[in-house]
């Protein structure tokens, strides 16, 4: 049995990641009881590495962390690295969405193009440097929340290929096509080779 630390305190994210990574001989834990360092990196990559290396330092186990961001082209790729705190420190999923919708109010669809990016760092595998995996999902921002599933910006992120927002599709589908799913499937393949 191999124990892998998912270096996050976000239980929504932990559930989604472990759903993707689950397999025989693997057990997962998170850092819910520890004080995570603040995300002060200037890029998703910097934040993912910092969290993964912190998880390894605190547990001495293989540690995986991601940083994900929503990038809106017409807003110079904001909120980007600030996605989780776009509406300020202590922002909720709803207040972040509301701020974004306000900034895009009245904009036509062609100015609402966006992509989700996910960067994952894996550290603590014998003699291997920290590895980075990434993926993205393209779509656009709707004018209002649609759907009750998912979390974060999912209710306003429309995926044209599906004709729905990420919050309107079941987790089984989301966990096959999302930016996080694609990045973590790369991680799963990497870990499987290690095992």
Catalytic residue among 67, 98, 134, 154: 67
Asked if omega into 162 is within 30° of 0 (cis), the reply is no
Looking at CATH, the fold of the domain delimited by 2-194 is given as: Maf protein (3.90.950)
β-pairing, 2-6 with 26-30? parallel
**Annotation says 145 is catalytic:** no
Rounded CA-CA distance 120/96 in Å is 23
pLDDT category at 195 given cuts 50, 70, 90 is low
pTM over 0.95: no
What digits encode the pLDDT tens for the residues 81-96?
999 889 998 899 999 9
């Amino acid at each position: 049995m191999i124990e892998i630390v998912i270096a996050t305190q976000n239980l929504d994210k932990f559930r989604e990641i472990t759903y993707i990574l689950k397999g025989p001989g693997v057990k997962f834990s998170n850092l819910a009881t520890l004080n995570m360092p603040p995300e002060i990196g200037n890029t998703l990559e910097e934040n993912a590495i910092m969290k993964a290396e912190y998880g390894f330092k605190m547990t001495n186990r293989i540690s995986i962390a991601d940083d994900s961001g929503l990038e809106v082209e017409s807003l110079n790729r904001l909120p980007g690295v600030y996605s989780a705190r776009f509406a300020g420190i202590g922002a909720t999923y709803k207040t972040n969405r509301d701020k974004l919708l306000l900034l895009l109010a009245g904009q036509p669809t062609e100015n609402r193009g966006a992509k989700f990016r996910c960067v994952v760092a894996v550290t603590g595998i014998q003699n291997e440097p920290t590895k980075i995996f990434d993926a993205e999902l393209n779509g656009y921002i709707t004018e209002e929340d649609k759907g009750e599933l998912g979390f974060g910006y999912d209710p306003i992120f429309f995926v044209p290929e599906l004709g729905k927002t990420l919050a309107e599709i079941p987790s089984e589908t989301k966990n096959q096509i999302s930016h996080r799913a694609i990045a973590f499937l790369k991680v799963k393949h990497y870990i499987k080779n290690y095992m």
